Amino acid sequence: MALKDKLPVSYLLFTTRGRINRLTYWTASLFIWTTFYVLFNLLELLFSYTATWIIYPLLFWALFATATKRLHDSNKSGFWLWLILIPVLGPLVLLFLLGFKRGSVYSNSFGVVPNSAPDYFKNADAEKIPHLKTDERIVNDVTQLNPIVVARVETPHTIKELQSIIKSADKPICIGGGRFSMGGQTASPHSIHIDMRRLNKVLEFSAEKKQIKIQAGIRWCDIQHYVDQHNLSVKIMQTYANFTVGGSLSVNCHGRYIGLGAVILSVKSLDVILPNGEMIHTSPTEQSEIFFACVGCYNAIAVIANVELELTENVAIKRSHKKMQRSRYKAFFFEHVRDNKDIVFHNGDIYPPFYKNVRAVSWTKTNKKPTVKTRLMPLAAAYPIERYFIGAFSKSRFGKWRREFIIDPILFSRKKIHWRNYEAGYDVFELEPESRKESTYVLQEYFVPVYKFDSFASLMTEIFIRHNVNVINVSIRHANADSGSLLAWAREEVFAFVVWYKQGTAEPDKDKVAVWTRELISATISLNGSYYLPYQTHATAEQFHKAYPIAKQLFDLKKQLDPGYKFRNVIWDTYYKSQRHEFGI
């Protein structure tokens, strides 16, 4: 832990590193002079005037340190303090620089913007097991619900190194990126866990063609920083930019985009590594069987190494919103959103605990000036307000009522115009609780044909109320049909119901979640829908195959290309391994 976090006052008053903004400077100055006044009078009263000399070095150093950090905020060094020696004009200029000049809105040579984080939130490296002398590690995901002991962790820095690890592996292999999946999809017991996050280079880029080729360990936020200077944007990604591209492709992610769908629709080609270490190039038209068995298929047959993606223009977008009864949402969507080419993002939030009302939120292209200072989302060092309200929403029905009728009306009263990259650059750290020891926040997601929206919403509501599920939000998204993944969750045009809920971490709590989850999956299947696989593996094998009816094609291809069952994770240990045993493979 840095000194800034261990001793924040000492860091502020007695170091010259970093930056502070105007408010912090004025607050610190008031604190310094007030403390000096109290100590001066106390020492003079108890001892003598001479005794007060001891505090002058502390005073001058604290003033120097805070002034230096304040100058850093506008990208100026502490040498500017010499202005104090210039009669009249020097002190006036210095007063302006220290007390009134705005700081740089971006990171500068002296550090990141005050009160901001230097980078997006990352899951920690695999955990060492105390007192154990082997290479075994514990791999967990962001929920902290799925600790899995792996034999060792490999962290390749080059594609050749990755190929060598895969080819020479003496144990099964599992693949991890950002590890934001929530059901153990990045690990398998006693396997070799490959951490892909060091494979994060941009390999090729064409602003004219709006294309980029990257290594799979790169994060969406890294791509945004790279292409934003060319006024380009990622075409399809999640709302949060922490995730790696390889992980996102493995789960076939989607976002809030209108007129698009799963990320597979923006992938031009892949370089993938087979279990024998061979790397092959594949695309929707070149070795397409491999391509469609890689995107959305959780490293079943290969490891995604390099990715070629389509990009699009980065445009200004304006927020609009409308609250309505849930029964009116589908008609509203088809009339005002579905075919509107100017809408970039859209989602509808269903309010718990009664699930009767929806707030539809759209972001539409505009020529107006953005209301934000930066083109990319600034990162906060902490999110105390967000954490407070998330905690309040999850603790009681009154908290949920406050959100719907007090908090959200205030938040949505503000006019907002963002850049596309800004609105696609959220940090999951804003959702992180203080602790996940006794309770945790988890996602689930269900997909139903668009014409079955009302039927599923009613079934979902009944299940949530009957099981007293502590749902914080249900976000409605839209997706066009998938282009061919063997584990396609959108076999036709669908609405997605993204469920964010709170659960306990004890085994009885997990068992309760499993019960209502299987009921929701059955409800989805009854409407010819599907459920999303990056979450808890509560579904039965029968439910899995009904939701993904062509999974058997993927299994057959895995038997052909991975006969030794080298590539594993919890999904394949749950649904593929059992089938292998059934047929004596």
Structural domains of the chain, with CATH: 3-99 (no CATH), 316-544 (3.30.70.2520)
- Asked if residue 348 lies in contact with residue 358, where contact means CB atoms within 8 angstroms, the answer is yes
Task: Give the model's confidence band at 2: pLDDT under 50 very low, under 70 low, under 90 confident, else very high.
Answer: low
pLDDT at 122 > cutoff 80: yes
265-317 confidence digits (pLDDT tens): 999 999 999 999 999 999 999 999 999 999 999 999 999 999 999 999 999 99
* Residue range 140-153: mean pLDDT, rounded: 93
Sign of CA dihedral 346, 306, 243, 225: negative
CA atoms within 13 A on the CB side of 483: 19
**Residues 9, 10, 14, 18: what is their CA dihedral angle, to the nearest 10 degrees?**
-70
pLDDT at 582 > cutoff 80: no
Predicted local confidence at residue 585, as pLDDT: 44
pLDDT at 116 > cutoff 90: no
Predicted local confidence at residue 118, as pLDDT: 83
Looking at every residue in the chain, the average pLDDT score rounds to 93
Predicted local confidence at residue 581, as pLDDT: 47
Q: Which residues contact 223 (CB under 8 A, 6 or more apart)?
A: 202, 212, 214, 234, 245, 309
pLDDT at 213 > cutoff 70: yes
Does the pTM of the predicted model rise above 0.85? yes
* Residue range 219-247: mean pLDDT, rounded: 97
Residue of 279 and 119 predicted with greater confidence = 279
Lowest mean pLDDT among 9-23, 31-45, 169-183, 403-417: 9-23
Nearest to 360 by CA among 372, 348, 370, 371: 348
pLDDT at 161 > cutoff 70: yes
* Residue range 424-448: mean pLDDT, rounded: 93
CA atoms within 13 A on the CB side of 205: 17
pLDDT at 495 > cutoff 50: yes
Q: Report the alpha-carbon distance of residue 385 to residue 430 in Å, rounded.
A: 9
Predicted local confidence at residue 318, as pLDDT: 98
Q: What is the DSSP letter of 430?
A: G
How many Å separate Cα 223 from the centre of its chain? Answer: 14
